[in-house]
Amino acid sequence: MSGTKIKIAIGADHAGFEYKELLKDFLQDYEVKDFGPHTADSVDYPDFAHPVARAVENGEFTYGILLCGSANGVAITANKHQGIRAGLCWENEVASLVRLHNNANVLCIPARFVSVDEAKQITKTFLTTAFEGGRHQNRVEKISC
């Protein structure tokens, strides 16, 4: 890499707030923008998932990371955006496969179902695994409507 840090958009809801804060520190080698929330007060996850997805969709950020209790809500929301391939990752191997086979660009972590250490490892794997291309390229091209 030529000195330019990879840009990551990150967001959560109240259930993912603590992990989001910890991941921001973990991602010190990246340029990270926090799309909120900025407290652990109860919030609606689409209010944060849409801005993260839009930021990746428009090319301002390379990747997005979203966290909520199950990660289903943020994944469903992010995947409404064209060009977004949000993958729900609850273990390291899934994080690897969503990058290798699906070229996912938004990582969705279920904070209520993984430890902080697992969330960090999942994030590291997601960010350091390259898309395999090849036979998967045609499949990925068929995803968008």
* pLDDT tens, per residue, the chain with 145 residues: 446 899 999 999 999 999 999 999 999 999 999 999 999 999 999 999 999 999 999 999 999 999 999 999 999 999 999 999 999 999 999 999 999 999 999 999 999 999 999 999 999 999 999 999 899 999 999 888 8
Catalytic residue among 38, 81, 101, 108: 101
Quick one: DSSP state of residue 73? H
Rounded Cα distance, 61 and 66, in Å: 13
Residue with tokens 């923008």: 33
145 is catalytic: no
* Domains by residue range for the chain, with CATH: 7-141 (3.40.1400.10)
The vertex-32 CA angle with 57 and 89, nearest 5°, equals 65
Catalytic residue among 14, 38, 50, 68: 68
The pTM assigned to this predicted structure is 0.95
101 is catalytic: yes
Rounded Cα distance, 10 and 7, in Å: 10
